[in-house]
Amino acid sequence: MVRYFSKHYGELISIPVMAEQLQIQLEQIELAFDHHRQTTTTQALLEYRLNRLCDEMSEHPCGAINEQVRHCGLGSVPSTNNAFEQCFGIDLQDFHQQCSLAAANRPAPYTADERVSDRSNRATTETRFHRHRA
């Protein structure tokens, strides 16, 4: 079912139609999501689409929010913003701005010569998390 979501998340998805296409009874789908994910199928699809929206905004921070929302199969920007805030605790505009700032602060990709660098240069680009894990 999650594979179905990943293949069709940008399209209009009807859970009963999905059940029919997967040749699974609707009640079985609902029971499976309720039992294994403690959520409804509709809520799981919404969360999947919201996660794809996060990916879309992170990968393309210059994109227009309304286009990204539409590309992920979500409804209006205001209703998506409400769901996004409930799911992630931040509104779309703030998250989009954070993605833009992060992209602006990312160093340019290294050339082959720059990849071979001394340890002091590497230490300045690593976070505290990286150093503790190494």
pTM, full prediction: 0.62
DSSP for 48-101 reads: HHHHHHHHHHHH-TTS-HHHHHHHTT---HHHHHHHHHHHHSS-HHHHHHHHHH
Whole-number Cα distances in Å, 71 to 9, 27, 80, 103, 133: 9, 29, 12, 21, 37
Q: What is the pLDDT of residues 8-44, one digit of tens each?
A: 767 777 778 888 888 888 788 777 777 777 778 888 8
Q: Does a structural domain hold residue 114?
A: no
Q: Does a structural domain hold residue 133?
A: no
The CATH code of the domain that includes 79 is 1.10.10.60
Q: Which structure tokens are listed for 30?
A: 């609902």
What region does 73 belong to: left with phi over 0, alpha with psi -120 to 50, or beta?
left
Q: Does a structural domain hold residue 111?
A: no
77 pLDDT more than 90: yes
Q: Does a structural domain hold residue 80?
A: yes
What is the domain count for the chain? 1
Q: Does a structural domain hold residue 26?
A: yes
99: closest CA among 130, 55, 50?
A: 55
Q: Does a structural domain hold residue 101?
A: yes
CB 39 within 8 A of CB 22: no
Q: State which residues form the domain around 39.
A: 2-105
Q: What is the pLDDT of residues 82-119, one digit of tens each?
A: 999 998 999 999 999 999 998 888 777 666 555 555 45
pLDDT at 32: 76
Give the span between the Cα atoms of 96 and 4, in whole angstroms: 27
